C-alpha cells in the first residue's frame, strides 16, 4: 500500500494556525505519526470537530496529543456550560476508521465536552 507518514503534531499546528477565528491551547507530544494514503479526509474531520467545539464555548479550545506505546491519543475539548449538546456527525467515526482511529465523546454537563480520538499504531 502506497502512502506516507503523517505527523499529527504538525497537522494540528497547521490546522490551528489557519483557524485564526478559533483560539487554542496546545499540549502536543512529539512522535505521533500515522500512515496514510490521503490526509484530506482527516483534515476535514478535524476542521469539523474544531468548528463544532468552537460553537460550544467562548473560551480557548484545549487540544492535546499524547504518545503511547501502541497508540496516539488526541483530545479536543471545549469548556462549556451547555447541558445539551448535539451529536457529532456519524461521518466522523467512519472517516476516522480509515485512519485506524476510534472516537469517543465525553460530556461533563455544565463543564466540558471532550472529543477523544485514539489512533492505533
How many domains is the chain built from? Answer: 1
Q: Which of the pair, 3 or 9, is modelled with greater confidence?
A: 9
Strand residue runs (E) in 16-111: 24-28, 33-36, 61-67, 71-79, 101-108
Whichever domain contains 79, its CATH number is 3.30.565.10
Give the domain range for residue 80.
Answer: 4-120
Whose CA is closest to 31, among 3, 1, 73, 63?
73
pLDDT per residue as tens digits for the range 35-84 = 999 999 999 999 999 999 999 999 999 999 999 999 999 999 999 998 88
pTM above 0.75, yes or no: yes
Give me the chain's average pLDDT, please. 95
3-state SS, residue 97: helix
Check residue 51 and give its pLDDT: 96
Residue 87: DSSP 8-state = P
Amino acid at each position: 500500500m502506497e502512502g506516507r507518514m503523517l505527523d499529527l503534531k504538525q497537522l494540528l499546528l497547521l490546522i490551528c494556525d489557519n483557524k485564526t477565528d478559533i483560539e487554542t491551547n496546545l499540549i502536543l507530544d512529539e512522535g505521533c505519526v500515522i500512515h496514510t494514503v490521503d490526509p484530506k479526509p482527516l483534515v476535514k474531520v478535524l476542521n469539523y470537530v474544531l468548528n463544532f467545539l468552537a460553537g460550544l464555548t467562548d473560551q480557548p479550545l484545549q487540544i492535546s496529543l499524547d504518545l503511547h506505546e501502541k497508540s496516539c491519543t488526541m483530545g479536543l475539548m471545549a469548556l462549556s456550560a451547555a447541558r445539551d449538546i448535539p451529536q457529532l456527525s456519524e461521518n466522523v467515526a467512519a472517516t476516522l476508521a480509515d485512519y485506524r482511529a476510534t472516537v469517543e465523546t465525553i460530556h461533563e454537563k455544565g463543564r466540558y465536552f471532550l472529543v477523544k480520538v485514539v489512533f492505533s499504531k
